[in-house]
Structure 1
Amino acid sequence: MSTTESERLRGLLEPLVAAKDLDLEEIEVSRAGRRRVLRIVVDSEDGVDLDECAEVSRAISEKLDESDAMGEDEYQLEVTSPGAERPLTERRHYVRATGRLAKFQLHEGDEFVARILTVDDEGLDLEVPGVKGRKPTARRVEFARIAKARVELEFTRKDKKEEEA
């Protein structure tokens, strides 16, 4: 998708998504045979459920039908949430992942898994799990040092309510 098309779609759809108290995370246009697929990824502080995706999908569909943003070609609209293992690229992603384990790759090549404890404007306070009976260690990482980060799935993760108790 060209930058101009992406910017035009973002400009058209972002206010509509924001009006539903959601963040427009990603816009992707691809081909599936003769038809184009417009994939919209939305999220919020509390996550996004199926009903919210359906509601946003209807609103986006109406908006796109009123405009010529997708041109005359047929397209399929998909509205989805980012998924459990999505990359962390924005400060708000890290805030939403507070309390979760994430895999980090730093620009200098260091790679590790740690739990996100707190997030501020400059970076993260992390807890690196102890290995072989050792205690966890604290670590501070600035956003500028992070090359890649992704939430790790935890099947035995403590519920936030348990942690707060």
Structure 2
Amino acid sequence: MRSPDPEQLADQLRGVLEPVVTDAGLEIDAVEVRTAGRRHAVKLVVDLPEGSTATGFDLDDIARLSRTAAAELDPHEHLIEGSYTLEVTSPGVDRPLTRPQHWRRNFLRLAQITLAGGESVEARIGQADDDRVQVAVPGRKQPELREIAYRDVTHAQVQVEFKPAPKAETALLGADRPDADDDSETSANEENR
């Protein structure tokens, strides 16, 4: 019996692993399968669910989930022909922003955004809903507030910064409002209902 292609296999494995990841208080961000002959590498990327009040998870959490996920995969070895390795990890800073919750989690972070027309914009992430995100684009004198629809984004990724965000940008995005964080939490909680 031949294994399905990597994308089909990833979808099947997502279904198998979803309950154990959810039981661990996390959610699946991605399941990736790479094959080399009869060997497979399964990468399970997990993150906190949107709306979670937790501030993060540590290596012990990842190790426990890795053992539980491996035990869950054992009875389903018929899905993976040949041997495999399982890697359980959290998303790194290099994870592309592909879903609305990725944008919401990175409120006030700097991102490099490539738009469908080829324009590339470096901007600070503001409030995000299910269809678009507000960003502050640095300007010579003042930052400019823009709204970008996700459908117009071909690639976006958070940038590493070594200094605090400019106050003009964070103020433009509403970070100085007492309810700034509550807005994103409210929309996340409403989405989860």
TM-score when normalising by structure 2 = 0.73
1:137 to 2:141 alignment = no
CA contact (8 A) 2:6 2:34 kept: no
Provide the C-alpha distance between the structure 1 equivalents of 2:78 and 2:114, rounded to a whole number of angstroms. 37
For residues 61 and 77 of structure 1, what CA distance do their matches in structure 2 show? Answer: 7
Q: Deviations over 1:122-157 (max 9, x none)?
A: 2111111224xx211111111111111111111224
Residue 11 of structure 1 deviates from its aligned partner by 0.8
Which residue does 2:22 correspond to in 1? 18
| Distance in 2 of aligned mates of 1:126 and 1:54 | 37
Map 1:20-59 → 2, pairs under 5 A: 20-31=24-35, 35-44=39-48, 45=50, 46-59=55-68
1:101 aligns with 2:110: yes
Alignment correspondent of 1:65: 74
Higher helix share: 2
Quote the Cα distance in structure 1 between the aligned partners of 2:114 and 2:101: 18
Which residue number in structure 1 is paired with residue 189 of structure 2?
A: none
Question: Are 1:6 and 2:10 an aligned pair?
Answer: yes
Moved more, 51-60 or 28-37: 28-37
Question: Residue type of the partner of 1:23?
Answer: E
> Paired residue for 2:155?
148
Q: Over aligned residue pairs, what C-alpha RMSD do you find?
A: 2.2
What SS does the aligned partner of 1:154 have? coil
- Gaps of at least 5 residues in structure 1 are none
Deviations 1:54-108 (A, max 9, x none): 1211110110112225535222111011101210001111111111011111112
Unaligned runs of 5+ in 2: 166-174, 179-193
Structure that is richer in strand per residue: 1
Q: 1:30 to 1:122 in 2, by over 3 A?
A: closer
Measured in 1, the distance between the counterparts of 2:106 and 2:142 equals 22
**Alpha carbons of 1:10 and 1:137: their partners in 2 closer, same or farther (altered >3 Å)?**
same
Provide the identity percentage: 38
Alignment pair present for 1:112 and 2:121: yes
Determine the C-alpha separation between the residues in 2 that align with 1:139 and 1:152. 18
